[in-house]
């Protein structure tokens, strides 16, 4: 029986979760992701990850539901997904030669027990000095419009970086698997025994 549900329509998150080899269902939650006034980035990713999972709770009783959300932070500003290729090029030009922090919120809702856990992981990316041509070619080839920060680390985006810093590189893709495995074990679903 499938006990696990991923509250996401992201194919990247599904590809990551596939690595755990646990049967799961997935459903894309429909939530408003607009930050609240004066909401900190940490509070935002916690709220959105939990809201995504809780939105599906009624439809999935007796399940563990995973919610995740990510924001990029640069110079104190929360950055979302670029609206178009021009916005992606502008974002990457701003990042050239700088550090960008990513916060990924992770929630696990246990609908059988009426419990939940929420946490987050941080991951930093240091961009190389990039010229306009590199940025334009990258955006044209990868079209990273559904990605906070305008890049895909799991693709050609790796060529944009000088250095990556954090505990779990999966965090940057949008689903911190090391922390998720710990939460699943706490909830009684050990990936190595499933």
Q: Where are the alpha helices (DSSP H) in 56-188?
A: 85-95, 132-142, 170-173, 177-186
- Clarify whether 69 is annotated catalytic: yes
Q: Which one of 3.30.1360.120, 3.90.180.10, 3.90.950.10, 3.40.50.2300 gives the CATH number of domain 4-186?
A: 3.90.950.10
Say which of 32, 62, 69, 110 is annotated catalytic.
69
Query: Domain ranges in the chain?
Result: 4-186
Instruction: Give helix 85-95 / helix 132-142 axis angle, nearest 10°.
Output: 140
Distance of alpha carbon 6 from alpha carbon 98, whole angstroms:
33
- Over residues 68-113, the pLDDT tens digits come to 999 999 998 998 789 999 999 999 999 999 999 999 999 999 999 9
- Over residues 135-171, the pLDDT tens digits come to 999 999 999 998 888 998 888 999 999 999 999 999 9
Distance from chain centroid for Cα 100 = 15
- SS3 (DSSP) at 88: helix
Residue whose pair of structure tokens reads 């810093």 in the numeric block: 165
């Amino acid at each position: 029986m499938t006990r696990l549900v991923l509250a996401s329509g992201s194919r990247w998150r599904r590809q990551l979760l596939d690595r755990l080899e646990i049967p799961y269902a997935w459903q894309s939650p429909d939530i408003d992701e607009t930050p609240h006034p004066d909401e900190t980035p940490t509070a935002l990713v916690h709220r959105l990850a939990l809201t995504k999972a809780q939105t599906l709770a009624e439809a999935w009783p007796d399940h563990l539901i995973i919610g995740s959300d990510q924001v990029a932070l640069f110079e104190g500003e929360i950055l979302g997904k670029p609206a178009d290729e021009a916005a992606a090029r502008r974002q990457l030009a701003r990042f050239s030669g700088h550090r960008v922090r990513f916060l990924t919120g992770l929630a696990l809702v246990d609908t059988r027990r009426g419990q939940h856990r929420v946490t987050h992981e941080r991951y930093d990316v240091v961009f190389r000095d990039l010229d306009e041509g590199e940025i334009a070619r990258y955006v044209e080839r990868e079209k990273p419009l559904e990605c906070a920060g305008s890049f895909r680390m799991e693709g050609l985006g790796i060529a944009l970086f000088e250095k990556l810093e954090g505990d779990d590189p999966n965090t940057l893709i949008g689903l911190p698997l090391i922390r998720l495995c710990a939460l699943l074990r706490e909830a009684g679903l050990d990936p190595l025994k499933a």
